[in-house]
Chain A
Amino acid sequence: MLFSLILDISYAIAGAGIGAGLVAIGAGIGVGRIGGSAMDAIARQPEASGKIQGAMLVIAALVEVAALFGLVICLLISFKG
């Protein structure tokens, strides 16, 4: 019975760890696509690069926040578990 108790605690923290990794993948894919489209747009029209850079930073911040959501939840689980 003691053995299964230890297993229960480890599953929560293992879940939090896997969740944090998945969150990083999500953030990486999202911001990577934004950066890619920004690069394409700057290559097509170098004069507009200032505006494109500004828009890219703002949208990257919005996507990052969605990723940080998941990170905060994983941290909460690992602190309580």
Chain B
Amino acid sequence: MKKPFLVSKTAFFTLFFVAVASFFSLANTSEGEHEEKKEEFSISEVILDHVMDSHEWHLTESLVIPLPIILYSEENGLEMFSSSNFFEHHQPVEYKGYKLENNHITIAESGKSVVDISITKNVLMLIINTSIILFVFLSVANAYKANTGKAPKGLQSVFEPVIIFVRDEIVKPNISHHHEKYLPYLLTLFFTVLFGNLLGLLPGTGNLTGNISFTLFLALITFFITNFSGNRNYWSHIFWTPGVPLLLRPIIFPVEVIGIFTKPFSLTIRLFVAITAGHIVLLSLICLTFIFNSYFVGIGASLVVVFINMIELLVAGIQAYVFTLFTALYIGMATAEDHH
């Protein structure tokens, strides 16, 4: 016997809850108008700050770790100093004739840019990522040497299924000829991208795999490996495609040449967009709380953010898998034996 909705207990509590919640948020906005000294909350600044690279590591508002700045210019040569010189009580100042604005360092008078090879947040994240991978895999390798013939234990048993998954599901089916030659690179690639993605999700860390220069670098290595290990079949497919009427071949040729370059380009953009967009969505939801200045929005937004963080963990794993899979596919296509 269903009662009509508006008379049931659930409806009453839901409507009461909504009424109380809206009352609270209205009350907060009227209070906020009295304070004029508070800075306006600029959501675009906060999001871009967290997603882009920067010359210092912001842990909280006041706990900031200054990173070293290394510059090279023709007038002054190689200079090295700490980035805390650029800030006095959170105000940007000039230092030694250099000016830092929007993460870009220029010479103050002429406005020319200098060669900036400083240790920024992403560089430090790359160093941390590489150290973690080196430490983990060197200890796993030593454990294998010590435990030859015995069952794996400890860190070995965590990584063995993953390594076997990469070898048997990603590398072996796609590279038919001498897959052992490419296995070290593909394993390193998989774990670099996976650990980089996962580290970027922790609070207070930098966004390594969401940096387009980093993903471009990984795609460039794939590009060089693919083209230097391409055999006669690969190059003949590009320049003189078999099985196509002779008149069409000069038209197919530029399409194939562009195809050589779109493959690493798509690898770059796919990883960069997936990770950066995920971070931007998370940050926007967290910033919702600060725009509305209300506790209920804070609780609701936090629950949604927890859910989306789970999705981001899944995306981290899937993007690592997809990058390695496509790289293995391209290498396999380049080294395939002719089987017409």
Contacts and interface: CB of A to CB of B under 8 A. Distances in A.
B314 A57 contact: yes
Interface string B288-304: 00000000000000000
Contacts of B47: 79
B273 A61 contact: no
Contacts, number: 34
B122 interface: no
Interface string A59-81: 00110110011011001001100
Interface string A20-64: 000000000000000000000000000000000000011001101
Contacts of A72: 273, 276-277, 280
A61 B322 contact: yes
A57 B318 contact: yes
Contacts of B278: 68
Contacts of A61: 274, 315, 318-319, 322
B321 interface: yes
Most B C-beta atoms less than 10 A away, residue of A61, A62, A69: A61
Contacts of B280: 71-72, 75
Interface residues of A, number: 13
B277 A62 contact: no
B30 interface: no
Contacts of A68: 273-274, 277-278
Interface in B271-290: 273-274, 276-278, 280
Contacts of B322: 58, 61-62
A62 B307 CA distance: 20
A47 B34 CA distance: 65
A64 B48 contact: no
A61 B322 CA distance: 9
B44 interface: yes
A69 B318 contact: no
B269 interface: yes
Interface string B67-93: 000000000000000000000000000
Contacts of B269: 69
Interface of A: 57-58, 61-62, 64-65, 68-69, 71-72, 75, 78-79
7 contacts: A58-B322, A65-B270, A68-B274, A68-B277, A71-B277, A72-B280, A79-B47
